[in-house]
A and B are shown apart, each in its own frame.
Chain A
Amino acid sequence: MTAPTVTTTPAPQGAGSPQRSWGDRAAKLWHRMTTPSTLPLMGTLVTLILMLVIGQMRYSTERRDFVSIKLFSNLFVDNSYLLVLAVGMTFVILTGGIDLSVGAVVALVGLVIATLLPTGLPLVIVLPLAVGIGSLFGFMIGVMVHYFSIQPFIASLAAMFLARGLANVVSVQSVGIDHDGFSALAGWSLKFGEGRDIWKINSSMLVAVAVLAVAYLLLHHTRFGRTVYGVGVGDRGNAIQLMGLNAGRTTLWVYVISGTCAGISGVLFAFYTKSGFNLTGIGMELDAIAAVVIGGTVLTGGAGYVLGTFLGVTVYGLIQVMIAREGLDSWWTKVFIGVVLLAFVLLQRAIARKKVR
């Protein structure tokens, strides 16, 4: 903001250059923020702020603000599984694919945990195994997509049926998880604040944040990540292939990542519900896709940010919170999410039109 004065700067000539570079950086940042590819993300951010402002105005009481750390803490206690799911989905969507199987995988993983733990298998084996099931499903979709050129929609649809069917084989009833180690892990949390303002960070949130961080590093700072972006444009990976990079293996890995995220998400969901149920997660894949789209990633691939997905999940969670605060019936949530999705899609469309002009 304030330029360094001569008295505080030993070398007046030197003061000019960092100043100019700051101006440059600001201009560059502004340029980057307003390019067509980041505009949807800005839209998400603006929406988020708008919702928070409305929430603050409508739901704040004299004693408590609506916007508080507690709000976000609760939001991510409820939605950390969705964040992990959406992060995995972001990888797939960036390549122009789709993964419909994740909801069913969450159900299967939950049931596997619920049935394996009572057999006395230790937690350190069960949890990795459960995550591994997710990876395996992802691998299967990847093989179908890459080696057999089956469209991602159909390949993941088949995986969805498979996972759902297997979940039904395991059990058709809700199986409660009563395991000390598991409960300890699920219930662990760091508490902050006092009285009514108490908020916490639980294990699920840590896992979700870790997944987000890893995904960010992977997408933006490794060759693999850049290849993911490349596969999403340029002739469905043809360009990447002609550049001598391995489009096929990238495609395969993207689904493994999504599957693994679904596995982790299944564990987190089991943490959250402390049970496994075969009808869990019907339509959960759509929630994840909606969050990714709201987060500014384009469904045709090639453009988007994993941090946008984070914002998308936040918006999604906030919608649920606000519907609950309004005291509306639960099916209103669906209608409202549909409306918000419509609004976002129209917004993105308007931006795209502007870009063309």
Chain B
Amino acid sequence: MSHPSGHAPVVEMTGITIEFPGVKALDSVSFRLFPGEVHALMGENGAGKSTLIKALTGVYQIAAGTVNIDGKAVRITGTDAAQKAGISTVYQEVNLCGNLSVAENIMLGHEPRFGPFISWRALKAQAATFLARLHLDIDPSSKLSEHSIAVQQLCAIARSTVVQAKVLILDEPTSSLQQAEVDELFAVIRELRDQGVAILFVSHFLDQIYEISDRITVLRNGSFIGEYMVSDLPRLQLIEKMIGRSGAELEKIDKTSERRDPQQDATPIYQAAGLGKFGKVENVDITVHPGEIVGLAGLLGSGRTETARLMAGVDRPEHGETSLRGKPTPINDPKTALKNNIVYSSEDRKKEGIIGDLTVRENIALALQSLRGVWRPIPKAELDTIVERYLTALRIYPANPNMLIRNLSGGNQQKVLLARWLATQPELLILDEPTRGIDIGAKADIQRLVVEQAREGMGFVFISSEFEEVLRVSDRVLIFKDRVITDDLDNAEHTLTSTDILHAIAALTDAKPRDAAQPATHATVTKEHNA
């Protein structure tokens, strides 16, 4: 491990303040980054992590404060200025051009040229060497969009090695990666760190933070809380600093595991047999009873999300029978699902959830209004009551129904979406990654809400890549593997553990333990891997 204390910081930001109309996004925040270290930037959603990063990368202009790079005060006026200063960024959503080749994406801007013309041969050769350095074996002339997100991310990192960045910012690079891919990414990060690159790492996964980083800076509500060596900061303390609350709130999450009585004997709300769609999932049988929470567990692409989408008619099933409350009812589009009291909350909040330029109030009203039809508006008084009820019940902040939803933090947007679905009083609520990328407080709120609603008879399908979370809320866990359900585990007594799920997933696999990609959050296993 390199110890940065001997060096001078490569980046030193002091008293950084950034204002948006009506909001102070950052208030006098300080941040240091040393060469040859991995520095984690931690904080809940809305703490100001992305704002700070965008200030450093020249996307936002700072209102007050200074930025020193290599000891010299600089003004970062734009993204190109940041890159000239040696700062490269890899974003969560890959910001490269999918329609260009891998080689172009890596080299564009630094391409070898013959006169004004690009020398394609040399460009491909150079790109290949940069890819080889990251142990990435792909055809440089293939289109970027043909590759997985993980590979695209590695391409983005390859690009940063071309410009010989002094500072590499990784903004949630692991959120859509599988464990094997995360391992690969971390190997690359370590290699770059050892070459003296300063790496700023942002992730929601605590285990990853503790695995890869040397130092942590914590932000909360746009303010600087502190800078710590990882070895000096146990997880619990880190969490407390991030949320500004003691462990009490966290305990509440575990209380959700109180026993409930799913009405196993009642007619199932939802029953499907042989549900499937070519290339998505095959022959899924699934039953949800009133008051039951069915967890779907599996790896990315195993068919869990695909099943949820077929259940709610988001994608049209190609075969299979569905019956609702014992009555055969085909569900081919979200409208029909909604009319039959089934709603689906997508994993992609931004693209398939919020209507950014509408208000919180309108966002809540949308599904209920669709249910009633365009021509029968919800009376104002009624809507007021509904909105008010959910703003309070879900602790949505700020509790201003007339605010545009896109100005809310991720966690609060998710709560508004939950309010949208709950307002339709569904019998079956399918939640796909409802807590992804949101802070611990909001996570606890959402889990508690799910359990409460189940107690009142609502049926749930709950999908999360965090197995602990699935176990915490579910009565039954269906295991998905390679587009089919391979197991149905009972969890009524909450006796299942993550290891059970892992075993269930691995059960049909060939013995390839190193390859069995676990969810990133599974603490013990991840540690063992890298020990």
Residue numbers of A with Cβ under 8 A of B are 35, 37, 217, 221-223, 226-227, 229-230, 232-235, 238-246, 302-303, 357
Subset of 29 A-B contacts with CB under 8 Å: A37-B99, A221-B117, A222-B116, A222-B118, A223-B111, A223-B118, A227-B108, A229-B100, A230-B100, A230-B108, A233-B97, A233-B99, A234-B97, A239-B96, A240-B97, A242-B57, A242-B59, A242-B79, A242-B89, A242-B91, A242-B95, A243-B95, A244-B79, A244-B80, A244-B83, A244-B84, A244-B109, A244-B163, A302-B97
**Residue count of chain B within 8 Å CB distance of chain A:** 28
B117 touches A234 (CB 8 A): no
Smallest CB-CB A-B distances: 10 pairs:
A244-B83, A230-B97, A221-B117, A239-B95, A242-B95, A302-B99, A234-B97, A233-B99, A244-B80, A245-B109
Residue in chain B with minimal CB distance to A37: B99
Known A-B contacts: A37-B99, A230-B108. Give 11 more (CB < 8 A): A217-B117, A221-B120, A222-B116, A226-B118, A230-B100, A233-B97, A238-B95, A242-B89, A243-B97, A244-B83, A244-B84
A243 close to B98 (CB less than 8 A)? no
B109–A243 touching, CB < 8 Å: yes
Could you tell me the distance between the alpha carbons of A240 and B531 in the complex, rounded to whole angstroms? 39
Task: List A contacts of B91 (CB < 8 A).
Answer: 242
Q: B109: which A residues are within 8 A, CB to CB?
A: 223, 243-245
With a cutoff of 8 Å between Cβ atoms, the chain A residues found around residue B83 in the complex are: 244
Give a binary string over B94-125; 1 marks a CB under 8 Å from any A CB, 0 the rest. Answer: 01111110001100110101001110100000
Q: Are B108 and A234 in contact (CB under 8 A)?
A: no
Specify the chain B residue showing the minimal Cβ separation from A224: B116
CB distance from B315 to the nearest CB of A (A): 11
**Set of chain A residues within 8 Å of B97, measured between Cβ atoms:** 229-230, 233-234, 239-240, 243, 302
Q: Residues of B contacting A221 with CB < 8 Å? A: 117-118, 120
> Is the CB of B159 closer than 8 A to any CB of chain A?
yes
Residues of A within 8 A of B118 (CB): 221-223, 226
Chain A residue at smallest Cβ distance from B118? A221
Identify which of A37, A226, A235 contacts B104 (C-beta below 8 A): A226
**CB–CB A303/B99 < 8 A:** yes
Closest beta carbon of chain A to B141's beta carbon, Å: 9
Which of A233, A241, A246 is in CB contact (< 8 Å) with B98? Answer: A233
| Chain A contacts for B113, CB-based, 8 A | 223
Residues of B within 8 A of A303 (CB): 99
Residues of B within 8 A of A240 (CB): 97
B509 → chain A closest CB, angstroms? 29
Q: Return B77 CB to nearest CB of chain A, in Å.
A: 13
Does the CB pair B80–A246 fall under 8 Å? yes
A230 to B96, CA, bound (A): 8
Cβ B96 vs Cβ A243 within 8 A: yes
Min C-beta distance of B107 to chain A, whole Å: 10
* Chain B nearest CB, measured from A60 CB (Å): 42
A223 to B99, Cβ gap below 8 A? no
* B143-181 interface bits toward A, Cβ cutoff 8 Å, 1 = contact, 0 = none: 100000000000000010001000000000000000000
Closest A residue to B89 by CB, please name it.
A242
A245: nearest chain-B partner, CB-CB: B109
Q: List the B side residues contacting A230 at CB < 8 Å.
A: 97, 99-100, 108
CB distance from B295 to the nearest CB of A (A): 30
Smallest beta-carbon distance A135→chain B, Å? 19
Contact string, B188-216, partner A, CB cutoff 8 A, digits 1/0? Answer: 00000000000000000000000000000
B98: A residues at CB distance < 8 A: 233-234
Q: Are A243 and B108 in contact (CB under 8 A)?
A: yes
**What is the minimal beta-carbon distance from A128 to any residue of chain B, in angstroms?**
22
Q: Are B79 and A241 within 8 A (Cβ)? A: yes
Say whether B99 contacts A232, CB under 8 Å.
Answer: yes
Q: Is the beta-carbon distance between A226 and B89 smaller than 8 angstroms?
A: no
Cα of A77 to Cα of B163 in the assembled complex, Å: 49
Q: Which residues of B contact A37 (CB under 8 A)?
A: 99
Q: Are B99 and A229 in contact (CB under 8 A)?
A: yes
**Contact indicator B95/A234 (Cβ below 8 Å):** yes
- The distance from the CB of A231 to the nearest CB of chain B, in whole angstroms, is 9
CA distance A222 to B115 in the complex (A): 10
The reply to whether B108 and A223 form a contact with Cβ atoms under 8 Å apart is yes
